[in-house]
Protein backbone atom coordinates (compact mmCIF):
# COMPACT_ATOMS: atom_id res chain seq x y z
CA UNK A 1 0.00 0.00 0.00
CA UNK A 2 1.52 3.31 -1.07
CA UNK A 3 1.75 6.19 1.36
CA UNK A 4 -0.49 8.18 -0.97
CA UNK A 5 -3.34 6.13 0.48
CA UNK A 6 -6.33 4.54 -1.12
CA UNK A 7 -7.65 7.19 -3.48
CA UNK A 8 -5.09 9.97 -3.82
CA UNK A 9 -3.24 7.95 -6.45
CA UNK A 10 -6.21 8.03 -8.80
CA UNK A 11 -8.86 10.39 -7.42
CA UNK A 12 -8.24 12.90 -4.67
CA UNK A 13 -9.99 12.09 -1.40
CA UNK A 14 -10.82 15.78 -1.09
CA UNK A 15 -13.39 15.12 -3.78
CA UNK A 16 -14.74 11.79 -2.56
CA UNK A 17 -14.73 12.09 1.24
CA UNK A 18 -17.81 14.31 1.29
CA UNK A 19 -20.45 15.17 -1.29
CA UNK A 20 -18.07 16.40 -3.95
CA UNK A 21 -17.21 19.65 -2.24
CA UNK A 22 -13.79 20.50 -0.87
CA UNK A 23 -13.13 19.28 2.65
CA UNK A 24 -13.72 21.81 5.45
CA UNK A 25 -10.07 21.51 6.55
CA UNK A 26 -6.74 22.69 5.27
CA UNK A 27 -5.01 19.61 3.88
CA UNK A 28 -2.95 17.73 4.62
CA UNK A 29 -3.85 17.44 8.28
CA UNK A 30 -0.75 16.95 10.42
CA UNK A 31 -0.92 14.56 13.36
CA UNK A 32 -4.18 12.57 13.56
CA UNK A 33 -5.64 10.21 16.15
CA UNK A 34 -8.21 7.65 14.96
CA UNK A 35 -10.01 6.19 17.97
CA UNK A 36 -11.78 2.85 17.84
CA UNK A 37 -13.95 1.69 20.71
CA UNK A 38 -12.16 -1.54 21.65
CA UNK A 39 -11.88 -2.68 25.26
CA UNK A 40 -8.10 -2.40 25.04
CA UNK A 41 -8.54 1.35 25.59
CA UNK A 42 -9.82 0.74 29.12
CA UNK A 43 -7.14 1.57 31.72
CA UNK A 44 -4.76 2.55 28.91
CA UNK A 45 -4.24 6.13 30.09
CA UNK A 46 -4.21 7.22 26.43
CA UNK A 47 -6.61 10.14 26.74
CA UNK A 48 -4.03 12.93 26.79
CA UNK A 49 -2.01 11.37 23.99
CA UNK A 50 -5.15 11.04 21.85
CA UNK A 51 -6.16 14.64 22.50
CA UNK A 52 -2.63 15.88 21.81
CA UNK A 53 -3.13 15.20 18.09
CA UNK A 54 -4.04 18.04 15.75
CA UNK A 55 -7.14 16.19 14.56
CA UNK A 56 -9.13 13.45 16.33
CA UNK A 57 -11.56 11.07 14.62
CA UNK A 58 -13.93 8.78 16.53
CA UNK A 59 -16.33 5.98 15.66
CA UNK A 60 -20.09 5.87 16.11
CA UNK A 61 -20.90 8.42 18.81
CA UNK A 62 -18.98 6.82 21.71
CA UNK A 63 -19.41 8.01 25.31
CA UNK A 64 -16.77 10.54 26.38
CA UNK A 65 -17.93 11.35 29.89
CA UNK A 66 -15.48 12.07 32.69
CA UNK A 67 -15.14 8.42 33.70
CA UNK A 68 -13.68 7.60 30.27
CA UNK A 69 -11.65 10.71 29.52
CA UNK A 70 -8.39 9.46 31.05
CA UNK A 71 -8.36 6.52 28.64
CA UNK A 72 -10.25 7.79 25.57
CA UNK A 73 -9.77 11.55 25.72
CA UNK A 74 -12.45 14.08 24.87
CA UNK A 75 -11.25 16.04 21.84
CA UNK A 76 -13.31 15.29 18.74
CA UNK A 77 -13.01 16.90 15.33
CA UNK A 78 -14.96 14.25 13.42
CA UNK A 79 -17.16 11.44 14.68
CA UNK A 80 -19.07 8.90 12.62
CA UNK A 81 -22.71 7.99 13.17
CA UNK A 82 -24.12 4.96 11.42
CA UNK A 83 -27.82 5.32 10.52
CA UNK A 84 -28.50 2.18 12.58
CA UNK A 85 -27.45 4.14 15.69
CA UNK A 86 -29.96 6.86 14.87
CA UNK A 87 -32.61 4.20 14.41
CA UNK A 88 -31.93 2.12 17.53
CA UNK A 89 -30.54 4.58 20.06
CA UNK A 90 -32.66 7.58 19.13
CA UNK A 91 -35.85 5.95 17.80
CA UNK A 92 -35.17 7.18 14.26
CA UNK A 93 -35.53 10.75 15.60
CA UNK A 94 -39.32 10.50 15.53
CA UNK A 95 -39.63 11.66 19.14
CA UNK A 96 -36.05 11.73 20.43
CA UNK A 97 -34.60 14.83 18.80
CA UNK A 98 -33.82 16.54 22.10
CA UNK A 99 -32.19 13.38 23.43
CA UNK A 100 -30.04 13.24 20.30
CA UNK A 101 -29.02 16.88 20.72
CA UNK A 102 -28.17 16.27 24.37
CA UNK A 103 -26.00 13.28 23.49
CA UNK A 104 -23.97 14.98 20.76
CA UNK A 105 -23.17 18.08 22.86
CA UNK A 106 -20.14 16.27 24.23
CA UNK A 107 -18.56 16.44 20.76
CA UNK A 108 -18.64 20.26 20.88
CA UNK A 109 -18.02 21.63 17.36
CA UNK A 110 -17.29 18.28 15.76
CA UNK A 111 -18.43 17.20 12.34
CA UNK A 112 -20.71 14.17 12.37
CA UNK A 113 -19.89 11.97 9.39
CA UNK A 114 -22.72 9.82 8.02
CA UNK A 115 -23.01 7.44 5.02
CA UNK A 116 -26.28 8.95 3.86
CA UNK A 117 -26.29 7.57 0.33
CA UNK A 118 -24.63 4.16 0.64
CA UNK A 119 -27.87 2.36 1.55
CA UNK A 120 -31.42 3.46 0.79
CA UNK A 121 -32.58 2.86 4.36
CA UNK A 122 -29.90 5.17 5.73
CA UNK A 123 -30.73 8.19 3.60
CA UNK A 124 -33.82 9.33 5.51
CA UNK A 125 -32.19 8.68 8.90
CA UNK A 126 -29.11 10.68 7.91
CA UNK A 127 -31.23 13.57 6.66
CA UNK A 128 -33.21 13.58 9.92
CA UNK A 129 -29.95 13.88 11.84
CA UNK A 130 -28.83 16.69 9.55
CA UNK A 131 -32.04 18.67 9.93
CA UNK A 132 -32.26 18.07 13.67
CA UNK A 133 -28.90 19.74 14.21
CA UNK A 134 -29.75 22.47 11.70
CA UNK A 135 -33.19 23.20 13.16
CA UNK A 136 -31.77 23.71 16.65
CA UNK A 137 -28.65 25.62 15.49
CA UNK A 138 -26.40 23.02 17.10
CA UNK A 139 -22.65 23.56 17.10
CA UNK A 140 -22.19 20.13 15.50
CA UNK A 141 -22.72 19.69 11.79
CA UNK A 142 -23.53 16.59 9.75
CA UNK A 143 -21.50 15.90 6.61
CA UNK A 144 -22.27 13.07 4.20
CA UNK A 145 -19.87 10.49 2.85
CA UNK A 146 -19.61 10.34 -0.90
CA UNK A 147 -20.69 6.86 -2.10
CA UNK A 148 -17.67 6.82 -4.43
CA UNK A 149 -15.32 6.86 -1.44
CA UNK A 150 -17.23 4.08 0.30
CA UNK A 151 -17.33 1.98 -2.87
CA UNK A 152 -13.63 2.48 -3.62
CA UNK A 153 -12.73 1.60 -0.05
CA UNK A 154 -14.77 -1.60 -0.10
CA UNK A 155 -13.23 -2.68 -3.41
CA UNK A 156 -9.71 -1.89 -2.23
CA UNK A 157 -9.94 -3.96 0.95
CA UNK A 158 -11.82 -6.78 -0.76
CA UNK A 159 -8.90 -7.05 -3.17
CA UNK A 160 -6.66 -7.27 -0.10
CA UNK A 161 -8.57 -10.30 1.19
CA UNK A 162 -11.26 -8.85 3.45
CA UNK A 163 -14.45 -10.48 2.22
CA UNK A 164 -16.90 -9.45 4.92
CA UNK A 165 -20.54 -8.52 4.47
CA UNK A 166 -19.53 -5.00 5.49
CA UNK A 167 -16.29 -3.30 6.38
CA UNK A 168 -16.18 -1.82 9.84
CA UNK A 169 -16.63 1.91 10.36
CA UNK A 170 -13.17 1.93 11.90
CA UNK A 171 -11.52 0.64 8.75
CA UNK A 172 -13.30 3.25 6.63
CA UNK A 173 -12.11 5.94 9.03
CA UNK A 174 -8.50 4.75 9.08
CA UNK A 175 -8.53 4.61 5.28
CA UNK A 176 -9.74 8.21 5.13
CA UNK A 177 -7.15 9.31 7.69
CA UNK A 178 -4.30 7.83 5.64
CA UNK A 179 -5.27 10.15 2.80
CA UNK A 180 -5.99 13.21 4.91
CA UNK A 181 -3.19 13.10 7.49
CA UNK A 182 0.58 13.17 7.45
CA UNK A 183 0.85 11.05 10.61
CA UNK A 184 -1.80 8.59 11.81
CA UNK A 185 -1.97 6.85 15.18
CA UNK A 186 -4.85 4.46 15.85
CA UNK A 187 -6.22 3.49 19.26
CA UNK A 188 -8.78 0.93 20.39
CA UNK A 189 -8.38 -1.32 17.35
CA UNK A 190 -8.17 -4.73 19.03
CA UNK A 191 -10.94 -7.25 18.26
CA UNK A 192 -9.90 -9.94 20.74
CA UNK A 193 -11.26 -10.93 24.14
CA UNK A 194 -7.90 -10.80 25.92
CA UNK A 195 -5.04 -8.30 25.85
CA UNK A 196 -1.40 -8.91 24.97
CA UNK A 197 -0.84 -10.42 28.41
CA UNK A 198 -3.86 -12.74 28.31
CA UNK A 199 -6.04 -10.61 30.58
CA UNK A 200 -9.75 -10.54 29.69
CA UNK A 201 -11.16 -7.47 27.97
CA UNK A 202 -14.65 -6.11 27.48
CA UNK A 203 -15.68 -5.70 23.85
CA UNK A 204 -15.82 -1.89 24.12
CA UNK A 205 -14.01 0.37 26.56
CA UNK A 206 -17.43 1.42 27.90
CA UNK A 207 -19.49 -1.84 27.77
CA UNK A 208 -19.39 -5.48 26.71
CA UNK A 209 -22.10 -5.42 24.04
CA UNK A 210 -21.02 -7.89 21.37
CA UNK A 211 -21.41 -7.21 17.63
CA UNK A 212 -23.85 -9.06 15.39
CA UNK A 213 -22.12 -12.22 14.25
CA UNK A 214 -21.04 -12.56 10.62
CA UNK A 215 -21.24 -8.90 9.61
CA UNK A 216 -17.63 -7.75 9.95
CA UNK A 217 -14.32 -9.57 9.64
CA UNK A 218 -12.62 -7.79 12.51
CA UNK A 219 -9.62 -10.13 13.00
CA UNK A 220 -8.79 -9.91 9.29
CA UNK A 221 -9.08 -6.14 9.42
CA UNK A 222 -6.77 -6.08 12.41
CA UNK A 223 -4.18 -8.14 10.54
CA UNK A 224 -4.16 -5.62 7.69
CA UNK A 225 -3.84 -2.69 10.08
CA UNK A 226 -1.06 -4.44 11.97
CA UNK A 227 0.78 -4.93 8.67
CA UNK A 228 0.48 -1.20 7.97
CA UNK A 229 1.89 -0.57 11.45
CA UNK A 230 4.84 -2.84 10.76
CA UNK A 231 5.42 -1.08 7.44
CA UNK A 232 5.45 2.32 9.13
CA UNK A 233 2.38 3.58 7.26
CA UNK A 234 0.56 4.22 10.56
CA UNK A 235 1.17 3.66 14.26
CA UNK A 236 -1.02 1.28 16.25
CA UNK A 237 -1.17 1.92 20.01
CA UNK A 238 -1.90 -1.28 21.93
CA UNK A 239 -0.22 -0.91 25.32
CA UNK A 240 -0.53 1.77 27.96
CA UNK A 241 0.35 5.29 26.88
CA UNK A 242 3.15 7.36 28.29
CA UNK A 243 2.20 10.63 29.94
CA UNK A 244 2.22 13.58 27.54
CA UNK A 245 4.39 16.48 28.68
CA UNK A 246 3.90 19.89 27.12
CA UNK A 247 6.68 22.46 26.91
CA UNK A 248 5.65 25.45 29.05
CA UNK A 249 8.21 27.77 27.45
Return the active site residues. Answer: 216
Quote the radius of gyration of the chain (alpha carbons, Å). 17
- Name the burial class of residue 117, with classes exposed (0-12), middle (13-18) and buried (19+) by CB atoms within 10 angstroms of its CB: middle
> At 75, phi and psi to the nearest 5?
-65, 135
Contact of 93 with 129, CB cutoff 8 Å: yes
DSSP secondary structure letter of residue 106:
G
| Strand pairing report for 181-187 and 111-114 | unpaired
Nearest to 82 by CA among 156, 170, 20: 170
Partners of 34 in the beta sheet?
57, 186
> At 27, phi and psi to the nearest 5?
-105, 150
- The DSSP-derived string for 163-203 is --SS--HHHHHHHHHHHHEEEEEEES---SSB-TTS-B--S
The 10 Å Cβ neighbour count of residue 50 is 27
Amino acid sequence: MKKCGLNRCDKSLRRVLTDGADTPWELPLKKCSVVGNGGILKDSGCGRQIDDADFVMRCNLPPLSKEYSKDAGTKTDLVTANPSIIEKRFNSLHWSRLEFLKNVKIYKQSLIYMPAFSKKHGTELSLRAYYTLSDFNATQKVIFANPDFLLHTERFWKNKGISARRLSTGLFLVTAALDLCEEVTIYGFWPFGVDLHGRPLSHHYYDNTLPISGVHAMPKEFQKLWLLHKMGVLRMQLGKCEEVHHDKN
